[in-house]
Structure formats: C-alpha cells, structure tokens
Structure 1
Amino acid sequence: MIPHIPKLDLVLLWHMHQPDYRDSETGEFVLPWVYLHAIKDYTDMAYHLEMHPDIKLAINFVPILLDQLEDYADQFAHGEIRDPLLRLLAAPDLDRISLSERTLILESCFLSNHETMLKPYPAYQYLRNLYDNLQQLGDKTLRYASGQYLADLLVWYHLAWTGESVRRENASIVQLMSQGKLFSYGDRLRLFNLIGELIQALIPRYRKLAQSGQIELSTTPHYHPLAPLLIDFTSARDSLPEAVLPPHASYPGGRERVSFHLKSAKDSHTQRFGVQPAGIWPAEGAISEPFLNILIENDCQWCASGEGVLANSLRKSFPDQPLPARSDYLYRPYSFKAEHGSTLCFFRDDQLSDMIGFEYSKWFGRDAAENFVQRLEQIRHEVHSHRSGNTNPVASVILDGENAWESYPYNGYYFLNDLYELLEKHPHIQTTTFQDYIAKLSRSRTAIKPLPALAAGSWVYGSFSTWIGDHDKNLAWELLCAAKQSYDLVLQSPRLTKTEKAAAERQLASCESSDWFWWFGDYNSPHAVESFDRLFRGNLTNLYRLLKIPAPVTVLEPISHGGLSDSDSGAMRRAS
C-alpha cells in the first residue's frame, strides 16, 4: 500500500507598507510613493485575487499606509490636493509654473526602473533622450523646456506607474498610451481623476476580499517600529554578540511605546475592516521574547518572522544538538509560551521568498511560476521522506508586496497570473491563510512543537544589523532617544493641552518608524539616503516644534550620506 503523503499548505503573505511621507506642520506629502504604489501595485494585487477567487492568502497592511491612502482619497473627494506632483499633473498651465515646480517634475518623473518602466515606451524614452541632450548642453534645469514637454513627461511618468490591470481594462489609459504625446490639459485631468478613483476604491476592494474569506488581513504595529530595539537595544546582540550599540542603554519607555503602536494598529484595523486582526507581521519580521510577551498580552493568535530567526532560536533552545535538516524544522508553526498565554510563530521560507523578490523577475513568467510550484512539490516530498512526524506541513512565503514588481516585465502580470492559475489547480498544494491553517490544526488536534527559547532577530540575516550597529544608524538612535527624553519631560508638565499632547504623540510615533534606520548607511545610494535623512530629521524637528522647545543643532546636520549602492541596497533586501 502506497503511504499517504499529506498536502502541503502554502501561506503567501504580501506585505504592504510605506512610512509616513507627510509633513505634520503643512500636511504636504514630501514624496509620492504612497499614491504611485496605490495605482500600480495595490491595484494590481487586488485584481489578480479577484480574477482567481480560489486562491487564498494573507495581505498585511501597515496602518500608517492605510492612513495615507485614506488621506489621498479624502483629498480627491474635497478637491484639495496636498501632493505637489499630483497638483502639477492637474495644473492648467504648465508654462507658468515656478522654477522649483519645474525642477520637481524633472527630478521626479524619471524615478523608476528604466528597463521595465521607461524603455518599453518609445515616447517616454524620447522624453528622456531630450532631457539627457539638454543636460549635456548645460541646461541643467531645462529652464527653456516648454509646458508641453512637462505635460508629456508628467503623463508618461504616471502611465508608467499605472497597474497592468488598469492598462488592459481602462479605455482612457489605452487611448493615452496610443496617443503617446501632445497631451492636453483635458488628457491630464482624465488621468488625474482616474488616479483618484483607483485610490478611493482600494480599501473597499480589500475589505470585500476579506469578507468573502479569500484573504486574511493582518497588521503591523501602527507606524512600523522595530519593536525589539525599542524595548531593548541589547537584543541586537542575540544574533551579533559584538554589535556596537548606541551609548543609551535603551530607548526611554520603549515597552510602553510598542504597546501604543500595537493597540493603535488593532484599533485602526477593527475600525476599517470590522474585525480584530488575528495575527501580526511585525515590522521587518523583528521579534524578541519581550515583544512576543506583549503580543500574547494583546491576544495575538500568530506572528511571523524569518527563517534565520528560527535557526538561531533552535540553536539557542538546543545548544547540544546539531541543527536538523531544513525540511524537518522549517515547515511547521511553533508555540511560544509566556506567563499569560501563548502564540504561534510561523517562519518564512527565505529561499522561496527571495526567488520572488529578486530572481523570478529575470525569468519568463510561466517558467518562473512553474519553478516555484516545482520547489513546493519538492518540499512536500522532503518533509514526508524525513519522517519528522509533521502531518500538516505549511510553507510560509512572506515578502514585500509592492516593490518587487517594478523589476518584473508588465509589473509581474504574467508571473502572478500563471502562479495563481497553477496553484488553483494543484492536487497536492493548497493555498490558505494563517488563520484558516490554525483552525485546521485545532480541528485535527495536531500537537504543536514548543519553542523553548527565542533568539531575537529579523527576516534580514536573522539579525538587526540593517537598523543598528554602525555609526550612522547609532547616531540616528541617539537623536531619537534625546527627543524622547524631551518628550517625556514636556508631557509631565502642564505646558501642552490634551490635543497638543495627542499631536506630539503621533509625531513621536512617526519618528519611531524602522524605515529611517533602514536607509542610513553607505550601502544605499546618496539620493535615497538624502531623502530619508531629511525626512527623519524633519520629523524630529516637528516633534520639538509640537513640544514647544527648540530643536538641538544636531538635528539640523545630515546623519548619513550613503555610498555606492549595490545589489543589497534599496527598498528590498535579501534574507541572507
């Protein structure tokens, strides 16, 4: 008799996140990435799910991203646009704009992956050639470029950032791309209004998918803080014992700040989607024992992290035993118990996740999809052949759901369509959600392995080296610690009203985002580092303004300058 091989459960989790790009003093959006990803990636990802109703997966929305999406939707509803690039798209006369506005268009409208988002469109490439030629002639700001050139550039930039599903289904986009040039004010206004419609429809689309049971929506502490480091800087030494840490022993009141971010996330999720989130994808998959205790106190059923964290935790739990075969330990959840209860921890398959994030963009879409499925089939057979007693194997593939597709032809349209099609029909692999998988374990009364000790770390290298440990990152932590100490002193005094205290707390939360620390360091490009350096220091300056005290001079000086970017730079990184 041929032994029964259990099916392999697959949980795909697409993580959607952007930090807060708003200036709290003016309400202006400093960078356009929220609305650009909205019309391209968030729109396309919803479309693929709607076209493949038998696919089940998880979508993680960070609340600060949802806050900004709702902000944009409100701007379109009231006709008061606070994003300078969007305002320019709808400006009636581009011949009369200021030099600074002209510079903004020229500095913004070629920021994309040129191989996949510029070169395929001859009319857009022509605009780039003109720009390069004029720059070589010494006209660095294209002061004499016509309003028509700027109009065509604005339209093509936004067309390139429009989702493939929209290009295929919206007649206005088809017409604009066919026209190619000499776009009128009316053309620009049509594109502008479509952007508003796409953004306003996004949250309702995902809410509908969740209500149907097709997707599970999870959340992250509100402003995406690196929770273990807020609680204890020395947690970085779990994976890197020699890590050089900031001079402050810890972030002041860090545990309370993590609890604030988590409670705020749960409240905003419940308000938007009508149910409490069952699980948490921590910012950067960063976990530690004190942080998991906070999750347990807040009734979180599950959380997830990286494969490297699991390997380090098993070594810490069983120091006298060699690490078993990967297929023996990776494809199962683990129970982490604390005084007040327990939570389930899932760990991503770093290899599969990185294949989607970095490798499959170089393949034909169908070939990539078939290779991914073949790898899953191999995992299923390896789990069974090792006879580890894992009767309900699960593979967790967790990665950025927005930035990867810029490197794919057609925004990953063919890869995702073929992948979902193959998985829908597969007899031995079933897509599911973490919540549904946990319910399945409960019904079958499957014993879940405990994780006796947890080694703190993130999905990147299993460590916190991306966010702490070098000069620039540590300097940023020093500035944040000093600002938090000032915050604590002011809030203990009667200087601020209740409303002013709430505004200061929101601003502090934005300063605590992990994103600023991600970008500091010489492995990122000077342009990107300069943008996020300025944003971080602007946030700190606004915090001091809200506290009604002067900002220290150190906040006015750049923290990091970047260097020569390499394959590990940018908005995405490999796990190992």
Structure 2
Amino acid sequence: MHSDQPMKVVLCWHMHQPEYRNMGTGTSQLPWTYLHAVKDYVDMAAHLEAVPRAKAVVNFAPILLEQIEAYIREVKAFLAGRGTINDPLLADLVEPALPGDGELRLELMKKCLQANREHMIERFEPYRRLADLANYYKEHPASLIYASNQFLADLLVWYHLSWLAESARRTDPRIRALQEKGYNYTLHERRDLLQILLELLESVIPRYRALAESGQVELIMSPYAHPIVPLLLDMESAHEAMPDAHLPINTTYPGGRERARWHLQQGLDTFERVFGLRPQGLWPSEGGVSQESLPLFEEAGFTWLASGGSVLNNSHDNTHHGCSHKVYRFGEAGINCIFRDDGLSDLIGFSYSDWHAEDAVANLVGHMEHIADLCPDRSDCLITIILDGENAWEYYPENAWYFLSHLYQTLAENTKLELTTVTDFIRTCEPQPVHEEHLVAGSWVYGTFSTWIGAPEKNRAWDLLVEAKRCFDEQVKEGKLSAEQLRDASRQLAICEGSDWFWWFGDYNPGPTVSQFDQLYRMHLAHLYYLLNVEAPGYLSEVISRGGGQPSRGGVMRHHDQSAQ
C-alpha cells in the first residue's frame, strides 16, 4: 500500500566557477564569478528567504568561495581609496579614462554584449539600442571614431544592470533610478552602481549561512578546485562506462590519491572557515564517482554523496533495474549515495525556459506526484533534482523569477510532496539503503567521463598535466621548495587539476569560449612551472583546442543523455 505521508523532494543547486585569476598578477581573466554572484547566487537565496517553509540543498565549490571573498576585498579597498580592482571589466565600470585605442574599445564593447540577447539585452530598451550600435561598430570598425566615451560608459552601466539579481532590481530604489535614467551616466553614478554590486557580493555568504543556521538549507561542497576525482585515482576507470574510449598515453596520474585527499581536505578547510560548519554531503565534481573513490569520500567525513541517474543505471546488472529514488551503498563503502532524477532536472535546465511559469511548475509537480503515486513506500524514497544553480536562469524571463517563485510556493503548499534536505531525509525517514556490488565509474553527463577524457584534445590536456605533476614531484623530492613555495605550488597544481579546462576542449564547443579556456589552462600550467622555479615547456605556447560547435546553452550546460542532443 502507498504511504499516506508526503513524498520527500530535494532541490539541490550547484554553484561552481573555476579559478579565473592569473595567480601571478592577480588579474581576473573572465568576469563570471562576480556576475553570477550578483545575479544568480543572490536570487537563489532570495527565493528561499521568501518562502520560509521551502528547503533546498546548495552546493558551493570552495574555490568559488575564495574568489567571491577576493572580489569583496578588492572592491572595498578601491572604494576606500586604498587599492585597485583586478577584474578589467569591473574596473572599467568606474574608470574615468576609458581606452582610446580602437581595438581596445571594440574589445570592451564585445565584453559588454556577453549576455542573453532575448532576456537580458532586449528586455531593456536603452541596452538594446546600445547593443545594436556596438554590433554595428563590430561590423564596421572604421566607424569607431564616432563611438564616444559616454557610449562606452553607458554600455558598461547597462551590461552590469542587466546582470543584477531580480530580487534586488525589484526592491532597491537606487537600481530603479539608474534604469529609469537610461543614458548619460556620470562617473558618480557608475561608482554608485559599483557600491550596489559590492553590497550584493557581500550578502551572498552571510545569506546562505543564515539559511543553513535556520535549517532551510543544507550546505554541501565539491572538492576544492573541482577535479574529477576518479580520473585522478585511475584514468582507466573511464573504460568502465565507455570501454572503447581512447585514453591518454599515460593513464596513471602521479600521486593521484594524495591529490584527491588534498582537494577534499583543503575544500573542507575553506568551507568550514567560510560558513562555520562542516558539510555532511558532497557533490563530487560533476557527480564524478567510482568504486575506488567512495572510501576516500567516506574517510573525509561525508555521510552522503550524489551523482547522476545514468551512473546508477550503469551500475545495475542486466537483470536488475532498481528504483532510482532510493538510497544506495556500494561494495564495502558505508557512504550513502543518492542519484539525480535526470529527466526532471533536464526539464528545468533545457525545456521550461520557454514555458509559461505556472504551466512549467504544474508539469514538473505533476511528474513528481506521479512518481509519488507509484512509490510503494515513500519513507524509503526521495525525488532528487540536481541542477546548475547559475547558468540556466538567463534563458528564462527575468532570471526565472516567476518560475522559481511559483515552484517554491507550490511545493511548500503541496500535501503529496514535501521539500527536505538529504541529511534531514536520512535522519528522519531512516531509509534502508539498497546494496549493490559495484559502482560503475562515471559522471552525471551521459553516465561517462567522455566530457573530460577520451577525445584527442582532452587527452593532450591530461598529458600536459601529468608532465607538470611529474615536475612538481621532482622538485618536492629534491627539497627545492620552501614551505611557502610548496603551499603556493600545491594550490596552483590544484587549479590545473580542475575539471573545467577539460570540459571545454573539443570541436563541439563554441570557438571563442574554447579559446578563452584553452589560454587559461596553459596560463595556469605556466604559472605552476614558475612557482616550481622551472622554465615552462615551449609546448605550452601551442593551442590545445579550437572548438567551433554551437551546443545548446552555449556549452555551459549539458543534457544528461547523449540521445537528448
């Protein structure tokens, strides 16, 4: 018989950005950390604050938290007259002497067009006019002599206005005044906007900490710099889900187990310092798991982890297809494993942005109620939606304000479904874990590691990383690094081990973005050699990948299933 109690539902939002700073100069190469912070991280907190009965799990990559802190320090110092802003785009917002060189002016215009055309540019008539002019200058660079400094200043203001959280836009009279003015912004007004950005940045961590302290949010983490831990442990694990994949020349990452432990411990240290609590849950980078990784996660003190539904499907034998909404344990590992409902998660990520908000929520809730109706024992099952918490919303009207508001309110009032956190579910419902013999290695994307290894460009990137790690090990073994040098080099190595560089390599991703991440990866490797007091290899000047595709959502998101492409 079906239980009369409501079916438990977890919404888990993953917040993650790689290290965009050149650690030698401190300069941020790309602005996505602060832009997503003032738009998405703020709004995702505001939606929960508005519905006190709602609950969620929120995951933060520790290296993202450190970058948010760095932005706050820099902007505060600048506004106090004691420092500079190391993000060129943010610095230009308040720069009196904007560039006079035509190429630099054109480059600045291009940066100020990096926003969703339909929902972020065309929404605001002044921004649309400025963007149309900027596009004209891109196509007719000889006309740049007519582009005034006021045009550049207004374009910078509107770019940043379009990236503001909807919750702030609807409540802050300063933002309303800037939007209503429309053009001819003064330097003083630009500094006012910078102050607003600072306040939003400063609010992020305290708001999530308060939500955690109230019990509304369970805060969890990923390993420090977002590496694919199973590949650090054994690249051959990729063959478990894709046996015919061509792997790098050397499939053993030197000291991979120690590096995985480093990412887990450093991540815990950073997370606990920032939030004042130790997380129970882990979203392994990209949901990347393997049987070999489970004891490491358990050893680090995590009681549960999450991965993709395709990983669970791959881990069932041909004769057994268990319930994807149960808690699982694998082999001898004692850590609880839950799995993403890939279908429901992808509906939010890729389908509902074009729907009316109420229709989308009704459809999603209808799917969840159907699952609840089919579930024989709701105390033992959990519907788990896991989704990127930052990249989907620009494809929705008004940063998904209507969809998310209606979703939380509807679920909070639903008698058949109940929002919870994973730790609360495990503690209160005491589900009986299903035991399986072996967890097949894979990620939430396709249930494989094909997004990070197996293609020629991705394998080449691994070869470069392995060579850099060998150099690191040699310098350490010979005692050539002081304690401070070792600390800095270890962190720089961690940055190079992050998953994002490998994500972008491949001809299916857009060329300009691939170029940016290709250069970032080689820059990080070069700085690692610098910290090791070793001349960087000449091959770091060679491009790894050029891209050229036009994937859905610009490549920042993936469907869980190749058949959905």
Shorter-chain TM band: over 0.9
Q: Which amino acid aligns with 1:190?
A: D
Report SS of the residue matched to 2:13: strand
Aligned residues: 556
Q: Which residue of 2 aligns with 1:86?
A: 90
Q: Which amino acid aligns with 2:418?
A: Q
Whole-angstrom CA distance in 2 between matches of 1:110 and 1:451: 50
Whole-angstrom CA distance in 2 between matches of 1:4 and 1:285: 31
Report SS of the residue matched to 1:289: coil
Match of residue 423, structure 2, among 435, 448, 457: 435
Whole-angstrom CA distance in 2 between matches of 1:24 and 1:526: 25
Whole-angstrom CA distance in 1 between matches of 2:280 and 2:138: 54
Alignment of 1:312-331 (within 5 A): 312-315=314-317, 319=318, 321=319, 323-324=320-321, 329-331=323-325
Whole-angstrom CA distance in 1 between matches of 2:107 and 2:306: 40
Q: Which residue of 2 aligns with 1:482?
A: 467
Contact 1:309 1:456 in 2 (8 A): yes
Does 1:567 find its partner at 2:561? no
Report SS of the residue matched to 1:450: strand
1:254-313 CA distances to partner (integer Å, 9 max, x unpaired)?
Answer: 111000000111111122222211010000000001111101112210000000000111
Whole-angstrom CA distance in 2 between matches of 1:291 and 1:448: 19
Q: Which residue of 1 aligns with 2:276?
A: 274
Whole-angstrom CA distance in 1 between matches of 2:474 and 2:109: 44
Whole-angstrom CA distance in 2 between matches of 1:402 and 1:157: 17
Does 1:551 find its partner at 2:543? no
Contact 1:152 1:183 in 2 (8 A): yes
Contact 1:8 1:392 in 2 (8 A): no
Whole-angstrom CA distance in 2 between matches of 1:390 and 1:421: 22
Match of residue 347, structure 2, among 355, 366, 377: 355
Match of residue 507, structure 1, among 484, 487, 492: 492
Whole-angstrom CA distance in 2 between matches of 1:398 and 1:44: 17
Q: Which amino acid aligns with 1:137?
A: H
Report SS of the residue matched to 1:398: strand
Match of residue 194, structure 2, among 183, 192, 195: 192
Flag structure 1 segments of 5+ consecutive residues without an equivalent.
Answer: none
Contact 2:38 2:197 in 1 (8 A): yes
Question: Cα 1:3–1:561, aligned 2, differ >3 Å: closer, same or farther?
Answer: closer
Worse overlay, 188-197 or 73-82: 73-82
1:409-430 CA distances to partner (integer Å, 9 max, x unpaired)?
Answer: 0000000000011011001100
Report SS of the residue matched to 2:26: coil
Match of residue 336, structure 1, among 330, 333, 339: 330
Alignment of 1:169-568 (within 5 A): 169-315=171-317, 319=318, 321=319, 323-324=320-321, 329-338=323-332, 342-384=334-376, 391-442=379-430, 446-567=431-552
1:106 shift after superposition:
1.3
Whole-angstrom CA distance in 2 between matches of 1:212 and 1:468: 41
Does 1:74 find its partner at 2:73? yes
1:100 shift after superposition:
6.1
Whole-angstrom CA distance in 2 between matches of 1:4 and 1:533: 53
Match of residue 118, structure 1, among 115, 118, 121: 121
Contact 2:57 2:217 in 1 (8 A): yes
Whole-angstrom CA distance in 2 between matches of 1:519 and 1:254: 22
1:201 shift after superposition:
1.5
Q: Which amino acid aligns with 2:96?
A: P
Contact 2:6 2:378 in 1 (8 A): no
Does 1:139 find its partner at 2:179? no
Whole-angstrom CA distance in 2 between matches of 1:129 and 1:274: 47
1:447 shift after superposition:
2.5
1:182 shift after superposition:
1.0
1:144 shift after superposition:
4.0
1:554 shift after superposition:
1.2
1:136 shift after superposition:
3.6
1:387-426 CA distances to partner (integer Å, 9 max, x unpaired)?
Answer: xx56432101001000000100000000000001101100
Question: Cα 1:28–1:99, aligned 2, differ >3 Å: closer, same or farther?
Answer: farther
Contact 1:523 1:569 in 2 (8 A): no
Whole-angstrom CA distance in 1 between matches of 2:400 and 2:139: 35
Question: Cα 1:292–1:143, aligned 2, differ >3 Å: closer, same or farther?
Answer: farther
Whole-angstrom CA distance in 2 between matches of 1:361 and 1:201: 27
Whole-angstrom CA distance in 2 between matches of 1:139 and 1:53: 56
Question: Cα 1:258–1:4, aligned 2, differ >3 Å: closer, same or farther?
Answer: closer
1:551 shift after superposition:
1.0
Match of residue 150, structure 1, among 149, 152, 157: 152
Q: Which residue of 2 aligns with 1:105?
A: 108
1:482-508 CA distances to partner (integer Å, 9 max, x unpaired)?
Answer: 000011001112322110111111100
Q: Which amino acid aligns with 2:557?
A: M
Report SS of the residue matched to 2:160: helix
Q: Which amino acid aligns with 1:334?
A: Y
1:331-382 CA distances to partner (integer Å, 9 max, x unpaired)?
Answer: 11112353xx500000000000000111110101111111111111011012
Whole-angstrom CA distance in 2 between matches of 1:260 and 1:408: 38
1:104 shift after superposition:
3.8
Q: Which residue of 1 aligns with 2:81?
A: none
Contact 2:3 2:378 in 1 (8 A): no
Return the TM-score normalized by structure 1. 0.94
The percent of aligned pairs where both chains have the same amino acid is 44
1:3 shift after superposition:
5.7
1:237-263 CA distances to partner (integer Å, 9 max, x unpaired)?
Answer: 110010100000311111110000001
Match of residue 163, structure 1, among 162, 165, 168: 165
Question: Cα 1:390–1:364, aligned 2, differ >3 Å: closer, same or farther?
Answer: closer
Contact 1:456 1:463 in 2 (8 A): yes
Q: Which amino acid aligns with 2:157?
A: V
Report SS of the residue matched to 1:218: strand
Q: Which amino acid aligns with 1:102?
A: R
Worse overlay, 508-517 or 496-505: 496-505
Q: Which residue of 2 aligns with 1:40?
A: 39
Q: Which amino acid aligns with 1:229?
A: L
1:569 shift after superposition:
4.9
Whole-angstrom CA distance in 2 between matches of 1:469 and 1:47: 41
Return the TM-score normalized by structure 2. 0.96
1:121 shift after superposition:
1.4
Contact 1:16 1:400 in 2 (8 A): yes
Whole-angstrom CA distance in 1 between matches of 2:277 and 2:187: 43
1:58-103 CA distances to partner (integer Å, 9 max, x unpaired)?
Answer: 0000000000001111112222311111111011243x65556524
Q: Which amino acid aligns with 1:347?
A: F
Report SS of the residue matched to 2:552: coil
Whole-angstrom CA distance in 2 between matches of 1:299 and 1:117: 42
Contact 1:7 1:393 in 2 (8 A): no
Contact 2:7 2:379 in 1 (8 A): no
Flag structure 2 segments of 5+ consecutive residues without an equivalent.
Answer: 79-83
1:138 shift after superposition:
3.8
Whole-angstrom CA distance in 2 between matches of 1:84 and 1:137: 25
